[in-house]
Amino acid sequence: MLVAKLFVKFGKNMSRIGKLPITIPTGVTVTVNKNSVITVGSKGQLELALPNGVEVKLADNVMTVHSEQGNLHGLIRSLLDNNVKGVSEGWSKSLELSGTGYRVSTTGSELNMALGFSHPVILKAPIGITFQVVENKITVLGPDKTLVGEIAAKIRGKRPADPYKAKGLKYEGEVIRRKAGKAAKTGGAAK
């Protein structure tokens, strides 16, 4: 009942995020087509396909999103804002590697990791993604926020930090909940 009243009062576009305009910074070019929005900047080029019922308007370096479907209004606006920020500033995600004998280095567009396996783990960067390594700290850089997050998750998945000694890969600032080992459960080491 309350939802129906709000729908009548505010109309179809109830999204507060979706109503916010996107300011386009200098150096970024946005091209609005019927079914897509192409964003070009110093960090690269991104394209977002628009679903049916979503319209994007561009006027005086301000982009606005209009939608007949309330459930896509805020999503499309957020994705467009991420694309604008990505091609102008770029996105990054950092991971930390800890553990004796664990090492990481870059060779061109490849990430070489020694993670305690009998073989090195090699991960190739997709187009638009670059890796930086400084003292066992890996930074994934790129214009596409989704792709940066996916690659960082893929790297972390190769050897996630274990809860006993916190050895392995973890996101920068991630807190690993430590578990007590067998010795702590039994009251000490058996003699």
CATH value at residue 118: 3.90.930.12
Using the predicted structure, report yes or no on whether residue 1 has a pLDDT greater than 80: no
Tokens of 72: 């896509």
C-beta separation of 73 from 56 below 8 A: no
Q: Are residues 128 and 84 in the same domain?
A: no
Torsion of Cα atoms, 9 then 10 then 12 then 13, to 10°: -170
Cβ of 166: how many Cβ atoms within 10 Å? 16
Q: Give the residue numbers spanning the domain of 140.
A: 91-171
Give pLDDT tens digits for 108-167.
889 999 998 899 999 999 999 999 999 889 999 999 999 999 999 999 999 998 888 888
* Higher pLDDT among residues 174 and 141, named by residue: 141
Q: Is 120 within the bounds of a domain?
A: yes
Q: Are residues 73 and 139 in the same domain?
A: no
Among residues 88, 119, 136, the one where a domain terminates is 88
Counted domains in the chain: 2
C-beta separation of 152 from 95 below 8 A: yes
Give pLDDT tens digits for 13-24.
467 888 899 999
In the DSSP assignment, the letter for residue 184 is H
Is the model's pTM score more than 0.85? Answer: no
Q: Give pLDDT, residue 166.
A: 82
Model confidence at 6, in pLDDT bands (50, 70, 90)? Answer: very low
Q: Is 176 within the bounds of a domain?
A: no
Mean model confidence pLDDT for the chain: 87
Residue 75 identity:
L
Q: Is 119 within the bounds of a domain?
A: yes
